[in-house]
Structure 1
Amino acid sequence: MKLQLIRNATLKLDYAGRTVLIDPYLAPKHSLPSFANRSENPMVELPVSIEAILDGVELVIVSHLHSDHFDDVAKERLPKHLPIFCQPGDEGEIRAAGFTDVIPLVDRASWQGLTLTRREGSHGLGAVVELMGSVMGFTLEAAGEPSIYWAGDTVLYPPVASVIAETKPDIIVTHSCGARWDGDLIVMDAQETVAVCETSGDAVVVATHMEALDHATITRHDLREAADNSGISAMKLRIPADGDVLVLEGAAT
């Protein structure tokens, strides 16, 4: 399979002969408000054109409706006939944007040989969760392909650890920028990402959602340094730059 990090959480997967776009955030640099009074967002441009991003896309997955995961540019530019999987409760707003094939991922669903399973996430812990709202992760599986656990906008908490322990995914995608809201951690930071690496057996961990938003606290350099200090190899923890394409077959070596 091939995984391309576009920017932030936006991924493009070539998987089991299908092309999947996850959490499209297509806004131009500095076109959206700041989250932390440091910079307008996103802080960087897309690494490739929107036309290139959308080329060949057959399925879209939207984990939640925060503007850095499904923005107005994506709503305008994505073909309205594309099937979109989303968390239950978000389908009405997506349909209101003109999309005609919106499928709430309640538990497990199949599409063109792909199996998607909804996974729980927590966009922080404590009172901040009510402000952030519900989110989802998912597991993606297909015959002849490595299994993927896309954790999404979540901190490392018991349900995430349980998915890793019980399903033993080949590839884990984390959001690792250490974003904070009023001081509260709302996605994984370096320490939590290292913990995922240390407890995930032979899985390859791909850290994304970095260096694009002004409420982030962890850079790619910070994460690499923390991983090196903990003896986590560059084959175990991949930290792609925007636009990078990873060819992944399974276990870290």
Structure 2
Amino acid sequence: MSELGDALRLAPSDTGWTGELSNDWAIGEAVNGGLLMALATTATARSSEQAGGHVGPLSFSGVFLSPGAPGRVDLEPQILRVGRSMTSAQVTVSQPVDGAPVERLRALLTLGDLDRYVEPVLKTVAAPEIPPPDKCVSARGAPPSSLTQSGFLKRFDARMDPATIGWATGEPSGDGEMRGWLRLADGAEIDAIGLLLVLDSFPPVSFDLGSVGWVPTVEFTGYVRGKPAPGWLQLRLRTEHVAGGLLNEDAQVWDSTGRLVAHSRQLASARFRALVE
């Protein structure tokens, strides 16, 4: 089993499903939110299948209530409606803390047959032209920090467009954009559910604006538009509005054929040097 497959492994419980969060997918002391979203979607898809519903993730809209930590995690999906083409559901993700459940994430999902919505393409967004992976900068070569030394980053082979990595050497461009390539470090391919993890896998775009420290997600809405072809995934992150320590971060993911397979918008909280000095 791949590292990601192992991280998404679930067992039935009295209220839904249970899994195990690991430091291998943590940044600092918190488990990456993208992994929580992938776990929540996996649990919901399994419950939907048991209810005769759909399993392909079409949309995910979640609110993060507290940071995930290594240890047991409980997932409780509720199937709201099974239609002919789509299934609607909600899911809560919690962890036991001092004997009481603490909710980490609550989300609404729409599931369906992804292949049904791939064609015809009437309008789309083309991937930006960036250097190929072997001409980009590996994240493993970045200066040591809590980010680069995290277990989460070691799970990926990430290559950043040289034009967007000034922040890594203390010279952020201020453009608010990051671009690059991504694949799993163990060589396993990423499936449709894994795209939710990918959408939250790059360094926060706020780093390019001079933010410091952790950038927690407040709310996340993501869409999966198709099953990715094998090979490298290309990512672009941008922000259009930053004020009062909050920003929106828009992510787009293209597969190795150049097809847009996922995109998202999240509201995140960040600290900026201008605000903390």
What TM-score, normalized by structure 2, do the two folds share?
A: 0.26
Greater strand content: 2
What TM-score, normalized by structure 1, do the two folds share?
A: 0.28
Q: Which has the larger radius of gyration?
A: 2
